[in-house]
Chains A and B, each alone.
Chain A
Amino acid sequence: MSIPQQREGLWRDLAPQVLARLLRTYGPDQFDACEDAVQEALLAAHQQWEENPPQDPLGWLITTSRWRYVDWVRSDRSRRDRETKVDRLTEPLLGQGTSSGDDSLLVLQLCCHPELPRAAQIALTLRAVCGLTTAQISHVYQLPEATVAQRITRAKRRLDELGRVFPATTDPSALTPTVLNVIYVMFTEAHHTMSGSPARDADLADEALHLGRQLRSGAPGDTEVAGLLALMLFTEARQPARITAAGDLMALDEQDRSVWDRTLIAEGLRILDRSVAGATPGPYLIQACIAGLHAQAPDVDRTDWREILALYRLLELTTNGLNPTIRLNRIVAEAMVHGPARALELLDQLREEHPGLPRLHAVRADLLRRSGDRVAAAGEYREAARAADNLAEQRLLLRRLRELGA
């Protein structure tokens, strides 16, 4: 389906609002049918707007979706609760005609229902909130369209079973950690992909950033929302330096920082400025502060590693020391402040407790290289390359091994 870009943008902003209106009227247990109705209305808009553009696109989509839903309920004679639904059909649509950012958040919260599997949360969010087609989602994830369609269908049916009650969207704290986590996983999957070309996956990062910005405008006072958005902005800013034209992954210490996206960094820093003072630091805000310090540093040596180490310690406290990956990152910062010998001791403790932790060999190899033990470092790089679950990472580790000349 080829859609003029401007109109596609408009639809994608309107689609979740239309869905939210329908859900408010007919109940969140009607997610499946309402979402289908919105998809059909979008298809109708695609066929009709070219010749007959409506004056009020949102109103047009709401009315059209509503009629599709009504048609469906009338034809669905097999459903036990048909009568209740027909009753609901006579109820007026709430707040028709005006748009509200909150409505998109309501749909987002439903899509990220904690009872759904992560893959289903993401697929449903991409379709119902971001307005991607099933074909686009299957393309991004390199999955058969039938597989994605089935995930979405199952998720919608599960929501119908679960969704008797709306989440309380007016309360910013109702933006559950699950929603933030779904967006962050979507974002990191775009950057840590094992499939497809970087160009293909850039879309997923865009969608996650778009959702982050939407969340932020809906809950401007929520410091974790601010932290998540800033963290994603800083990470995205480094993307042009992260992968070379030849497709090679570059570690933070070898990236050409002149190609970092300064506009995104400035946006992230502005968000931090407004959010940090007086905030109870949550995990996303702390990670954003760390990423912000990297973003402002001219190179690895002129990075405020003491502050970064302090922030990692704070992050460990906030997460009750339960996350071994945070501890691993803290050890990297320890090495920059206190030297590799001390960090290697800490790393050995961590390895005893979590022998299979991802990146453990890679970090140990880097520390051994910095301490001058080339032979041991080479052994660790070999182990790390075998343990890698990502082709680009594996190539980086093998390159480091070659550079050792051991």
Chain B
Amino acid sequence: MKYVILMQVDPAVLESLTEEQQHTIQSGHGDFMDATKASGEFVATNALADPSRSKVIRSKGGVPEVTDGPFVEAKEFMGGYYLIDVENEERAIELAKLIPDSTIDGLALEIRQVMFFDGGDM
């Protein structure tokens, strides 16, 4: 089953990290990717640009209207995600705990099951 692990990020928390913590996070993500690739559970990952650079397209009277800025003003936003293919939810949780964000107060991971997936020519 495919699951997405959403990385919920708080910029204020990221800015207050020590250099050592930042390094731990960086290498931790590398280790996580290596481990899930070796176990045959890795599908894809993406890190997203800051939401201040987002464009939001929403309907106004049935016509798409484009505005600047994030969809919702919030302290936390989705910074990126991992897409994994695992046996069950327990395994997805087990893997998410290996992501360094899970041990930094103020950061969080959200696991959601994939309902439909089309990887193009995959």
Complex Cα distance, B38 from A145, in Å, reads 13
Interchain CA distance A391-B42 in the complex, whole Å: 23
Say yes or no: B39 contacts A194, CB within 8 Å. no
Q: How large is the interface on A (under 10, 10 to 19, 20 to 34, 35 or more residues)?
A: 20 to 34
In the complex, A394 has a CB within 8 A of chain B: yes
CA distance A391 to B115 in the complex (A): 6
Smallest beta-carbon distance B5→chain A, Å: 16
Q: Are B39 and A143 in contact (CB under 8 A)?
A: no
Chain A residues near B42 (CB-CB < 8 A): 144, 147
Across-interface contacts of B41 in A (CB, < 8 A): 147
Question: Are B85 and A143 in touch, CB under 8 angstroms?
Answer: yes
Docked-complex contact B113 and A143, CB < 8 angstroms: no
User: Is the Cβ of B122 less than 8 Å from the Cβ of A139?
Assistant: yes
B119 / chain A contacts, CB cutoff of 8 Å: 142-144, 195
B9 interface residue per 8 A CB criterion = no
Question: Does A24 touch B at the CB level, under 8 Å?
Answer: no
Contact A195 B117 (CB under 8 A): yes
Q: Which residue of B lies closest to A189 (CB)?
A: B1
Q: Tell whether B15 is near chain A: CB-to-CB under 8 Å.
A: no
The reply to whether B38 and A194 contact each other, CB–CB distance below 8 Å, is: no
Q: Which of A34-42, A74-82, A114-122, A311-319 contacts B (4 or more CB under 8 A)?
A: A114-122
A150 at the interface (CB under 8 A from B): yes
Is B64 engaged at the interface, CB distance under 8 Å to the other chain? no
Those of A364-404 within 8 Å (CB) of chain B: 388-391, 394
Distance between Cα atoms of A141 and B2 in the complex (Å): 10
State whether A150 touches B37 (Cβ < 8 A). yes
Would you call A148 an interface residue if the criterion is a C-beta within 8 Å of the partner chain's C-beta atoms? yes
SS class, residues of chain B in contact with chain A: loop
- Residues of B near A144 (CB, < 8 A) are 42-44, 119, 122
Residues from chain A with a CB closer than 8 A to the CB of B118 are 142, 195-196
Interface: B61 (CB within 8 A): no
With a cutoff of 8 Å between Cβ atoms, the chain A residues found around residue B43 in the complex are: 143-144, 147
Report the Cα distance A147→B40, complex, angstroms: 5
Select A148's contact among B1, B39, B40, B44, beta carbons within 8 Å.
B40
Does the CB pair B40–A142 fall under 8 Å?
no
Q: Which residues of B contact A150 (CB under 8 A)?
A: 37-40
The distance from the CB of A196 to the nearest CB of chain B, in whole angstroms, is 6
A12 at interface by CB-CB < 8 Å:
no
Complex contact B115–A142 (CB within 8 A): no
Given the complex, which residues of B lie within 8 Å of A141, measured CB to CB?
85
Residue of B whose beta carbon sits closest to that of A149: B40
Pair A118/B87 contact, Cβ less than 8 Å: yes
A145 to B40, CA, bound (A): 10
Residue of A nearest to B119 (CB): A142
Tell me the bound Cα distance from A120 to B105 in angstroms: 36
Return the chain B residue nearest A195 by Cβ.
B117
B41-61 with Cβ < 8 A to chain A: 41-44
Q: Is the CB of B40 within 8 A of A394?
A: no
Residues of A within 8 Å of B38, CB to CB, are: 150, 154
Within the assembled complex, what's the spacing in Å between the Cα atoms of A120 and B118? 22
**Bound complex: CA of A194 vs CA of B85, how far in Å?**
12
Q: Which A residue sits closest to B36, measured CB to CB?
A: A147
Q: Is B114 an interface residue (CB 8 A)?
A: yes
Q: Looking at the complex, which one of A154, A194, A195, A390 makes contact with B40 (CB distance below 8 Å)?
A: A154
Q: Which residues of A contact B116 (CB under 8 A)?
A: 194-195, 391
A195 nearest CB across to chain B (Å): 4
Task: Establish whether residues B117 and A196, one from each chain, have CB atoms under 8 Å apart when the complex forms.
Answer: yes
Residues on the B chain within 8 Å of A120, using CB: 40
Give bound CA distance, A148 to B42, whole Å.
10
Whether the pair B87, A146 counts as a contact (CB closer than 8 A) is no
- Per the bound structure, the CA–CA distance linking A54 and B68 in Å amounts to 67
Question: Which of B39, B40, B85, B119 is the most central at the interface, judged by chain A CB atoms within 10 Å of its CB?
Answer: B40
Mask, A143-177, CB within 8 Å of B = 1, is: 11111101100100000000000000000000000
Pairwise interchain contact B37-A194, C-beta atoms closer than 8 A: no
Q: Which of chain B's residues has its CB closest to A155's CB?
A: B40
Q: Assess whether A142 is in contact with B87, with CB atoms less than 8 Å apart.
A: no
**With a CB–CB cut-off of 8 A, which chain A residues contact B117?**
142, 194-196
Residues of B near A148 (CB, < 8 A) are: 40
Given contacts A148-B40, A154-B40, A195-B117, 10 further A-B contacts (CB under 8 A): A119-B40, A119-B87, A141-B85, A142-B119, A143-B43, A143-B85, A144-B119, A145-B122, A194-B115, A388-B115
Offer 18 A-B interface pairs, CB within 8 angstroms, sorted by A.
A117-B87, A119-B85, A139-B122, A142-B118, A142-B122, A143-B122, A144-B44, A147-B37, A147-B41, A147-B42, A148-B40, A150-B37, A150-B39, A154-B40, A194-B1, A195-B117, A196-B117, A196-B118
Residue ranges of B at the interface with A (Cβ–Cβ < 8 Å):
1-2, 37-44, 85, 87, 113-119, 122
